[in-house]
Amino acid sequence: MKKLDAVVFDLDGVITDTAHFHFLAWKKLAEELGIPFDEAFNEKLKGISRMDSLDLILHNGNQQDRFTDQEKEEMADRKNRHYQELLKKLGPDDILPGILELIAEIKGEGLPIAIASVSKNAQTVLEALDLETAFDYVVDAATVRNSKPDPEIFLTACEKLGALPEHSIGIEDALAGIAAIKAGGMFAVGVGPALDGADYRVDTTAELDWGRIKKAYENFSPGL
Ligand code: B16
Ligand code: MG
């Protein structure tokens, strides 16, 4: 039996679909700036920090040199206020299908679990979902210096759980997140249609079956 130490979850897009709220909030700001913004472009922002996301949007509209740092801070704050308005609608019914069952099975085996989200709103989201005590550790985005695809956030989660990355599983819905998990030397589970690089992939959270995930982890050889 291969040793398994811990499981680390992404938040937005895995535990709940706040990814859509981020999309709506960025779209509003982009429209105010006259910059085109659609779901396809939004894919590039998943797992990317607030300021890095703003830079990508401005770059896409060729407005990267138009604003001072202070103006950019104000724009990011405006997007966040809109996002927080949308979060008021969030409740326990918005936990994605299969997630509560998966968490219960993992915990039933005595394995620790953590959240690795670069969102500064992660605690608010977990509280809205009634999940604030469900995880053994939630990485504080404010203390993480690098956005995904840097592995820092996943490695921090493993370290805080006393887990070795090579004996840990990460679950993500974004390409940047999968890249971060792999850069950290962990086993990557992808949720979504086009997640190149995932070691095991399903289309939706409803298909996250703990028995199958463990089997894929057991059979995985990093060198292959
Ligand atoms: P905030 P994750 C990420 O969360 C989102 O995927 C990304 O779209 C967002 O820009 C980022 O959090 C920052 O969020 O503005 O709330 O600090 O996927 O790492 O859980
Ligand atoms: Mg995500």
> Residue 35 in contact with residue 66, Cβ under 8 Å?
no
> Residue 125 in contact with residue 91, Cβ under 8 Å?
no
Is 53 close to ligand 1, i.e. is its CB under 6 Å away? yes
Mean pLDDT computed over every residue of the chain: 94
The pLDDT confidence band at residue 175, using thresholds 50, 70 and 90, is: very high
Assess whether the previous peptide bond of 149 is cis (omega < 30° from 0): yes
- The pLDDT value given to residue 147: 85
In eight-state DSSP terms, residue 66 is S
Distance (Å, rounded) from C-alpha 27 to C-alpha 46?
A: 14
| Position 154 pLDDT exceeds 80 | yes
Please report the domains of the chain, with CATH numbers, ordered by start residue: 6-16+95-219 (3.40.50.1000), 19-87 (1.10.150.240)
- The pLDDT value given to residue 136: 98
Token pair recorded at residue 4: 């398994």
Ligand 1 atom closest to the Cα of residue 115 is 20
| Position 222 pLDDT exceeds 80 | no
Ligand nearest 46 Cα, by number?
1
Q: 10 catalytic, yes or no?
A: yes
Name, in order, each residue with C-beta under 8 angstroms of 209's C-beta and a sequence gap of 6 or more.
none
Among 46, 96, 154, which is best to mutate for testing ligand 1, by the most ligand atoms less than 8 A from CB? 46
User: Which residues lie across from 188 on neighbouring strands?
Assistant: 170
How large a percentage of the chain has pLDDT more than 70? Answer: 99
For 84-141, give the secondary structure using H, E and C: HHHHCCCCHHHECCCHHHHHHHHHHCCCCEEECCCCCCHHHHHHHCCCCCCCCEECCH
The pLDDT confidence band at residue 221, using thresholds 50, 70 and 90, is: confident
- pTM for the predicted model, two decimal places: 0.93
The pLDDT confidence band at residue 196, using thresholds 50, 70 and 90, is: confident
Residue 187 DSSP SS3: strand
Per-residue pLDDT tens over the stretch 32-86:
999 999 999 998 898 889 999 999 999 999 998 999 999 999 999 999 999 999 9
Ligand 1 atom closest to the Cα of residue 148 is 19
Q: 52 catalytic, yes or no?
A: no
Is 79 close to ligand 1, i.e. is its CB under 6 Å away? no
Is 215 close to ligand 1, i.e. is its CB under 6 Å away? no
- The pLDDT value given to residue 47: 85
- The pLDDT value given to residue 224: 53
Among 22, 78, 143, 178, which is best to mutate for testing ligand 1, by the most ligand atoms less than 8 A from CB? 22
Catalytic site residue from 5, 12, 130, 203: 12
In eight-state DSSP terms, residue 46 is T
Name, in order, each residue with C-beta under 8 angstroms of 138's C-beta and a sequence gap of 6 or more.
114, 115, 117, 122, 123, 126
- Report helix angle 175-183 to 152-161, nearest 10: 60
Is 29 close to ligand 1, i.e. is its CB under 6 Å away? no
Residue type for 183, please?
A
Is 49 close to ligand 1, i.e. is its CB under 6 Å away? yes
| Position 179 pLDDT exceeds 60 | yes
Catalytic site residue from 10, 52, 94, 209: 10
The pLDDT confidence band at residue 29, using thresholds 50, 70 and 90, is: very high
